[in-house]
């Protein structure tokens, strides 16, 4: 696929414009090094700590970029979104900042921390059952009945451009350290974060190899890349990585990632729990399962990193206390 065609929906200029909108609003999250991690892997590893972003996840970037471009008439109509939690919180907080009412379609089994975070910023929650109801249908019905603007979680150029600001920051932060990343790993659910980050990094640091990381039973991007076309998974296997359970790559995100990403890696539930424990004890970061998959990939040797400069994105930290306690109480590696 022609890279220019694939990336036409989101450009570096779109991401730079999003960065200007988010200046002074989104947090400039740190790029953290850790001597213990470097020594164990024989690499220079830097962690982009998006778990420290507003609402505890990168999702605020895309949501705020989208809502900030609504017209006054659209803002008055409000917005509706569907999400298991991080996009929900991002939309809720962006709505709070911009004076836009928000309704979020959330699964009944969404992590408590994410439900509470969504309500904290004044959003209304419409619960649904994952097994028997379609969140997309519910959200579209609400939009049709109320006139609310639908804010998709990943498959929208404005959302992708907002997420891509994390990639822009990574490149600039590396420049300040006089470094270039050999490898960058990002979590991948619907592919919005990866599409935005890969667009920025591919343009500004073309030598960097980019990988997406998925839960092992939700590796739709990895399987799609193998076959050369978008596949939809039918898995019903439970996973703690609730943020990464999109069954198929997005229509907008897929061609971007297909062109920009060198490969996709899959990690197990055990490996993710180990990464959560490692982050807590050694990096002093609290990560949710979906936010820990990139760390899990390098800790469990999913690709060779020795002698390399590696950036991983820790995309979120919204984990329920009981799950965190369970991970920490397991035997350390």
Rounded to 5 degrees, φ, ψ at 211 are -130, 145
Beta-strand pair 263-267/79-82: unpaired
Binned at pLDDT 50, 70 and 90, residue 8 comes out as low
List alpha helices for 261-315, DSSP H. 269-278, 293-299
pLDDT at site 84: 83
Residue pair 186/294 in contact (Cβ under 8 Å)? The answer is yes
DSSP class of residue 331? P
The per-residue pLDDT for 9 is 86
| pTM of the entire predicted model | 0.94
Give the distance between the most distant pair of CA atoms in the chain: 57
Out of 21-30, 34-43, 235-244, least confident range: 235-244
Share of the chain above pLDDT 70, in %: 97
Rounded Cα distance, 213 and 194, in Å: 9
Please answer whether residues 284 and 251 qualify as being in contact, where contact means their C-beta atoms are separated by less than 8 angstroms: no
**Mean pLDDT, to the nearest integer, of 110-125?**
92
Domains identified in the chain and CATH numbers = 3-57+157-329 (3.40.50.1100), 59-150 (3.40.50.1100)
Which tokens belong to 249?
Answer: 């790559």
Token pair of 271, please? 């490996």
CA separation, residue 254 to residues 86, 194, 203, 261 (Å): 21, 10, 18, 10
Could you give the CA distance from residue 268 to residue 288 in angstroms, rounded to a whole number? 14
With CA atoms as reference, report the closest residue to 210 among 191, 236, 229, 231: 191
Q: Look at residue 263 and give its three-state secondary structure.
A: strand
Given a cut of 70, whether residue 333 has pLDDT beyond it is no
Region 195-212 average pLDDT: 98
Residue 49 dihedral angles phi and psi, to the nearest 5°: -90, 75
pLDDT digits (tens, 9 = 90+) for 270-292: 999 999 999 999 999 999 999 99
Selected residue with higher pLDDT from 4 and 250:
250
- What the block records as the tokens of 135 is 């969140």
Rounded CA separation 6/309 (Å): 27
Q: Taking residues 256-269, report their average pLDDT.
A: 97
Whether the per-residue pLDDT at 2 is higher than 80: the answer is no
Taking the CA atoms of residue 187, residue 193, residue 194 and residue 196 in that order, the dihedral angle to the nearest 10 degrees is -160
pLDDT value, residue 288: 97
Judge residue 169's burial from the number of C-beta atoms within 10 Å of its C-beta, 0-12 exposed, 13-18 middle, 19 or more buried: buried
* Residue % of the chain over a pLDDT of 90: 89
């Amino acid at each position: 696929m022609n890279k220019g065609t694939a990336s036409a929906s989101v450009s570096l200029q779109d991401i730079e414009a999003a960065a200007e909108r988010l200046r002074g609003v989104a947090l400039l999250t740190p790029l953290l090094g850790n001597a213990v991690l470097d020594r164990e892997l024989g690499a220079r590893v830097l962690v982009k700590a998006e778990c420290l972003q507003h609402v505890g996840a990168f999702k605020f970037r895309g949501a705020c970029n989208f809502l900030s471009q609504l017209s006054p008439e659209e803002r008055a109509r409000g917005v509706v979104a569907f999400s298991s939690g991080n996009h929900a919180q991002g939309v809720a907080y962006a709505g709070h900042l911009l004076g836009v009412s928000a309704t979020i379609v959330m699964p009944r089994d969404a992590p408590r921390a994410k439900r509470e975070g969504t309500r904290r910023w004044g959003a209304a929650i419409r619960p649904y059952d994952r097994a028997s109801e379609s969140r997309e249908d519910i959200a579209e019905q609400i939009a049709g009945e109320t006139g609310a603007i639908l804010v998709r979680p990943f498959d929208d150029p404005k959302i992708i451009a907002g997420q891509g600001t994390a990639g822009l920051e990574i490149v600039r932060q590396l420049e300040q350290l006089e470094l270039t990343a050999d490898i960058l790993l990002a979590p991948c659910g619907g592919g919005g974060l990866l599409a935005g980050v890969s667009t920025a990094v591919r343009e500004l640091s073309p030598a960097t190899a980019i990988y997406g990381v998925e839960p092992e039973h939700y590796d739709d991007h990895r399987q799609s890349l193998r076959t050369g076309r978008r596949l939809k998974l039918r898995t019903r296997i439970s996973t703690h990585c609730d943020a990464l359970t999109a069954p198929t790559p997005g229509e907008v995100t897929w061609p971007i990632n297909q062109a920009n990403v060198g490969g996709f890696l899959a990690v197990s539930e055990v490996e993710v729990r180990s990464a959560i424990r490692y982050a807590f004890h050694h990096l002093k970061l609290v990560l949710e399962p979906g936010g820990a998959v990139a760390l899990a990939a390098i800790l469990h040797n999913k690709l060779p990193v020795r002698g390399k400069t590696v950036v991983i994105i820790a995309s979120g930290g919204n984990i329920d206390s009981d799950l965190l306690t369970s991970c920490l109480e397991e035997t350390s590696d």
